[in-house]
Structure 1
Amino acid sequence: MSARGLVIAAPASGSGKTLLTLALLRALKNRGLAVAGAKSGPDYIDPKFHEAACGHPSVNLDAWAMPAEQLTHQAAGQPGELLIVEGAMGVMDGAGPAGSGSVADLALTLRLPLVLVLDVARQGHSAALPVAGLRALRPDLPVAGVILNRVGSPRHEIMARTALAETGVPVLGAIARHASLAMPERHLGLVQAGEHGDLEAFLENAAGIVGNSVDLDALIAAATSLAKPGSAAPLPPLGQRMAIARDIAFSFAYPHLLQGWRAQGAELSFFSPLADEPPAPDADAVFLPGGYPELHGEVLGKASRFKTGLHAAAQSCKPVYGECGGYMVLGNAIIDADGKSHEMLGLLPVETSFATRRLNLGYRRFTPLAGGPWDTPLMGHEFHYSTVVSEAGADRLFEAADAFGEKLAPMGLRSGSVSGSFAHIIAPASS
């Protein structure tokens, strides 16, 4: 179990938090330190990179959707001597009018110090402004140090360091601009870890550059003890023996949900729709997580054994639940980016399109309607570009509200034991 940790944060998105976190995880592992990672907020992709970098599964710590007891429990449960938590967006960016659930809130809940990543590519002495502003606005936040990123020259570094000396916050390192540190992206963020062309070489290169540019001893010394772990009720499993889709088209399953289901006695098995595998015949429930089915429409459309297995589960009245990408596959068809329609499972009367795109993004509070797999309020989020071409002829699954408390249109569909929506469930609502 992790005993100490720190949070990698930044004034804004795009500052280099992910790259720095990966490089630190690998550099510290290479030094023989047992280190683990965690990700702030609703992110499926970065934790897989964390795992590749340090060899341990990473977890999500969502200060908006998870109660404090669950946050401390998840953080303390990570293996190793040191936990490095990668922040999301800017350090004070949260949800709703008050910005709740920010990285700042998470750091205070976990009682961990911040290490700020400052992208100084377009500034010199002004690098001190975010630090001074954060200390003025949130004097309750411990800032252990800063790391300068995308430094242009030795003189550039001197200017930033001189300005930051006025804040009293130590500079733990300075990383020069390196084209080799760029990471490939697609419409939902980074390309998945399993699809990176040569991830091992990339991580070793990044660890070498960052390890030579950051005072790792000072970084380790800056870590503090984690808050005492609490406990919170996990999301109930869909069944005693759950079959879960898992491949590059269905990779968005939160580790804490799977851990919670196992802790409640559920037996989990996995199958690959892209390999035309059906769910285990003895499974009493099926879960289709989100992912990138819109990129694999032709393969999924021809996956006859997968389709037969899902239809058999539905005909046997076993709970079948799909979220986001899984919901799209439960529908009649997916239209890909080229406008070609691919026949899906046809278990729910919905057709979706990736040819016509619109970003749907934000935290959500869900109130289940009658007949769905859960009966208590849920916290989660929505993040997709696909649009609904048609969606009718079945019962709705959730009532929904956004982080501002504004009521949204009902989400998802339910037909018999089959249900799904674009929602990503994170945790039961605490109140």
Structure 2
Amino acid sequence: MTDHADVRVLLVAAVSSGQGKTTVTAALARALVRRGQRVRVFKCGPDFIDPMLLERASGAQVGSLDLWMVGREQCRSQLAAAALEADVILIEGVMGLYDGTPSSADLAREFGLPVMAVIDASAMAQTAGALVHGLRDYGPVEMAGVIANRVASKGHGAMVAASMRDIPLIAILPRQTKTLPERHLGLVLPSEVQDVDGLLDLLADQLEFDDDAWAKLRSTRIDLTARVEPPAALLAGRTIAIARDAAFAFLYPANLDTLRALGATLAFFSPLADDAVPAQADAVYLPGGYPELHGETLAAAARWRGSIRAVYAAGMPILAECGGMMALADSLADQAGKVWPMAGLLEGSVTMQARIAGLGSQGLETPHGLLRGHTFHYSKLETGVAPMAHTVKHPSGASGEAVYRAGSLSASYFHAYFPSCPAAVAALFSRSEA
């Protein structure tokens, strides 16, 4: 077998958030799939919701690429795996091209990836060229081309194209009358959007390609020998029960892959459907999500609440992240101020607030190494429980989120990226260590 593959790879970036990176990446992925291309998509940086939409658009699982949270070797390994099965690899950047430590530009330079700039052209014409040249030259990065979003007319598009000089305008996406709905943590979950596939098809239909410019884009040579050794099967023979529904939807696919690689069997259940914790479970994982949107339903889910209390009383390890922790507090006050009783495993009350309460990459020091991840929440927990530890913010090194231990429960606003330290994850789900 050859030790490399030549694949068209594009890092889709912009000058800032709000330019339409996710919309353009989704439209591009769906358009290419409909052309018979095999497309794999990644998201740069910590994110749960955008990858769900990109998965829907491309028809394939979306992974995360981040030089700090995921790490260079894991990034390299994922690109190698994708190159074996894709004609095109799209990577949606995070925030602006040079924002963050590390940034999307850092990722592009690390792996020699060409950048496709997305610009919101709705309030500019020829200045678009100055913007894109600045994006290219500041780093610098290799600028493969531009996709202009929210273009008003053919004449407007022609002015934008002329301003690019030596950088090709690959495609134009007109102003959209129907857009992807958003809420406080980002886009609405694709499963909640009526006819989301129809909307993705519409976006793909509206994407006006310059086929000649697209055909001239270069391929990137991907090293196929880059592989990360699987972890030891530290959870062999154990079943992890995982909450999975609209209230507990923030879950990295890589986290599930890591649990399976550790030897665990996964059993999914829905607290919103008032499912009990599966009887065969040896541990429980409650990921983040939107419990604040489902307070009434969770409060009325007597079977769910009774079962999580029972396994907690029996000493079963429970890991609750962000929304999962919120659902285990005594109460949850939603955005309207309505207070709902929750499962009551962690003393305290959760209140939603208008301002963001936590955002950014963080790591948790453990006896097994640094468990990396991030935080992003609008709620606040008031509790008398003393934190067992705090995460450390990256890159500042400042104290981050509180990590609570109450009996067999480990809870925090911190979202862990499990592949960053599988041994620490295994310990969290092991009765002897938890």
**Please, what is the CA RMSD of the aligned residues?**
2.4
Query: Offset of 1:423 from its aligned partner?
Result: 0.5
Scaled by the length of structure 2, what TM-score is found? 0.88
Shift of 1:226: 2.9
Q: Which amino acid aligns with 2:191?
A: G
1:191 to 188, 201, 216: 188
Q: Deviations over 1:196-232 (max 9, x none)?
A: 111011011111111x345387168444233443426
Contact 1:2 1:81 in 2 (8 A): no
Contact 1:235–1:260 at 8 Å: present in 2 too?
no
Q: Which amino acid aligns with 2:89?
A: L
Within 5 A, what are the aligned runs for 1:395-410? 395-408=386-399
CA–CA distance in 2 between the matches of 1:410 and 1:271?
27
Paired residues, number: 413
Does residue 379 (structure 1) correspond to residue 372 (structure 2)? The answer is: yes
Query: What is the correspondence of 1:28-107 to structure 2 with a 5 Å cutoff?
Result: 28-78=32-82, 79-94=85-100, 100-107=101-108
Question: The residue matched to 2:132 in structure 1 has which SS?
Answer: helix
Alpha-carbon distance in 2 for matches of 1:219, 1:149: 20
Write the distance in 1 (CA, Å) between the matches of 2:212 and 2:341: 52
Q: How does 1:200-279 map to 2 (within 5 A)?
A: 200-210=197-207, 212-215=208-211, 218=214, 221-228=217-224, 229-231=226-228, 240-279=238-277
Aligned AA (1:398): A
* 2:387 match: secondary structure: strand
Q: Distance in 2 between matches of 1:410 and 1:200?
A: 37
Separation (CA, whole Å) in 2 of partners of 1:356 and 1:103: 29
- Cα distance between partner residues in 1 of 2:143 and 2:114: 6
Q: Distance in 2 between matches of 1:220 and 1:191?
A: 36
Indicate the SS of the match to 2:67: coil
Q: Does the residue aligned with 1:12 lie in a helix, a strand or coil?
A: coil
Cα distance per residue 1:220-273 (max 9 Å; x no partner): 844423344342676997783111000000000111111111122111110000
> CA contact under 8 A between 2:353 and 2:378: conserved in structure 1?
no
Whole-angstrom CA distance in 1 between matches of 2:121 and 2:356:
33
Alpha-carbon shift at residue 10 of structure 1 (Å): 1.0
Distance 1:69 1:230, change over 3 A: farther
Note the C-alpha offset of 1:23. 0.9
Q: Runs ≥4 in structure 1, deviation > 6 angstroms?
A: 232-239
Unaligned runs of 5+ in 2: 423-434
Structure 2 counterparts to residues 276-315 of structure 1, below 5 A:
276-315=274-313
- Distance change >3 Å, CA 245–CA 74, structure 1 → 2: same
What's 2:430 paired with?
Answer: none
Gaps of 5+ in 1: 95-99, 369-373
> Identity percentage over the alignment?
38
Q: Which residue of 2 aligns with 1:164?
A: 164
SS at match of 1:174: strand
TM-score, normalization by structure 1: 0.89
Shift of the 15–238 alpha-carbon distance from structure 1 to 2, 3 Å rule, reads: farther
TM-superposed deviation, 1:429: 6.7
Q: Secondary structure at the match of 1:310?
A: helix
Deviation at 1:48, TM superposition (A): 1.0
Given the superposition, is the C-alpha separation of residues 243 and 144 from structure 1 closer, same or farther in structure 2, using an over 3 Å criterion?
A: same
Q: Displacement, 1:131? A: 2.5
Match of 1:320 in 2: 318
Whether contact under 8 Å (1:339, 1:355) holds in the other structure is no
> How many angstroms apart in 1 are the aligned matches of 2:152 and 2:112?
34
Aligned to 1:138: 139
**C-alpha contact 1:354 1:387 (8 A) present in aligned 2:** yes
Q: Which amino acid aligns with 2:263?
A: G
Q: In terms of mean alpha carbon deviation, does 13-22 or 73-82 score higher?
A: 73-82
Measured in 2, the distance between the counterparts of 1:263 and 1:209 equals 41
Residue 88 of structure 1 deviates from its aligned partner by 1.3
Q: Which residue of 2 aligns with 1:425?
A: 416
Q: Which amino acid in 1 is paired with 2:409? A: V
SS at match of 2:324: helix
Letter in 1 for 2:222: L
